[in-house]
Amino acid sequence: MSDHDSESGLTRGELARATGCNIETIRHYEKIGMLPHPPRTGAGYRIYARSHAARLRFILRARELGFAMKDIRGLLGLEDGTAPTCADVHARTERHLADVRAKIDDLKRIESVLAGTAAKCSGDEVPDCPVLDAITSSFIR
Amino acid sequence: MSDHDSESGLTRGELARATGCNIETIRHYEKIGMLPHPPRTGAGYRIYARSHAARLRFILRARELGFAMKDIRGLLGLEDGTAPTCADVHARTERHLADVRAKIDDLKRIESVLAGTAAKCSGDEVPDCPVLDAITSSFIR
DNA sequence: TGTAGGGTCTGTAGCGGCTACAGGCTCAAG
DNA sequence: CTTGAGCCTGTAGCCGCTACAGACCCTACA
């Protein structure tokens, strides 16, 4: 590109490759305000700086950690426009941690039901199956 | 309703209450073929029999167990139109069980990251936060 | 200098799995 | 006969992307 001077910015595709993010997702995050509008070349190409890459990586890792989009917004200070305090972050993290633990418990219950019924299953070529019976009659929680 | 004779069928609302399912979801499941088209009254009201209720409960419980929609279709014999054999069900269940276990592992990793960083957090009214640092620099898996 | 091929731009539509209307009919109770 | 609840239909919206189509632009090579 015409103004790709030395080690300056990244194109959208380069940012995508650098972060492992889908290229379209970058545009999406910009549209919903998770990423700031980057400057553009004369021809309209987006040019991303290190700060954009850092922010995108932050979002992707928070996502990996299972934070909901609105929590990520909060962590980024996008809700009220001010950087969150450590106390804010702590509260949000504790809440999310509780959710994660609850989900682990749910899944463990599910696991035991599945493991228990699957073990009873003959694996035969018959239509009568203990797993189906278990789904038909078992209650979770 | 005019033909609500003794212990015959349920209306959509009654089925919803009887199963705990959202009333609109019932129509949705019919539309996507998870529930058969029920007979109708002269005025066009759906009338559900015991078999419909049983099938809907099956779907809801399979959903609680975390089965994906296409697996539920399989368990219901909707994929090839024939009742699944015990072997089919077993295979599907084992696959799902593996997914569940993988998800539990993921969440446990997430839990330990969150718990570890949250513990370091002062909870002060400052903007500098170890949780944010952790998200910025930690890699999952 | 021309051209081929990649990359990027925009807007819009689609995914799954529901959920929530609006606007009209029908039913049962008072 | 009226009132209010329930049901009918179709359609639109939700989230968080993802995938186009059709146009433009940039680089490399002949």
Instruction: Give residue-wise pLDDT tens across range A27-41.
Output: 999 999 999 999 999
CB of B68 within 8 A of CB of A72? no
The DSSP secondary-structure symbol of B40 reads B
The mean per-residue pLDDT over the stretch B46-50 comes to 96
Residues of chain A numbered 49-88 and touching chain B (CB < 8 Å): 54, 57-58, 61-62, 64-66, 75, 83-87
What share of chain B has pLDDT > 90, as a percent? 65
Q: Do the chains contact at B61 and A123, CB–CB below 8 Å? A: no
Q: DSSP alpha helices (H): ranges in chain B?
A: 12-19, 23-31, 50-64, 69-75, 86-120, 130-137
| Residue range B87-112: mean pLDDT, rounded | 93
Partners of B48 in beta bridges: B10
What are residue A48's phi and psi, to 5 degrees? -100, 140
Nucleotide nearest to B43 (CA to C1'): C26
Helix (H, G, I), strand (E, B) or coil at A10: strand
Name residues whose C-beta falls within 8 Å of residue A37's C-beta, 6 or more positions apart in sequence. Answer: A30
pLDDT of residue B139: 54
pLDDT at B6: 35
Query: Kindly report the CA angle at A59 between A72 and A85, in degrees rounded to 5?
Result: 45
Of the candidates A100, A114, A75, the residue with the CA atom closest to the CA atom of residue B101 = A114
> What's the CATH code, domain B1-84?
1.10.1660.10
| CATH architecture type of domain A1-66 | Orthogonal Bundle (1.10)
Q: Which amino acid is at B129?
A: C
Average the pLDDT over A129-141 and give the result. 70
- Interface probe for B, chosen from A55, A58, A93 (most Cβ of B below 10 Å), is A93
User: Tell me, what's the pLDDT at A27?
Assistant: 97
Kindly determine whether residue A126 and residue B100, on different chains, have CB atoms separated by under 8 Å: no
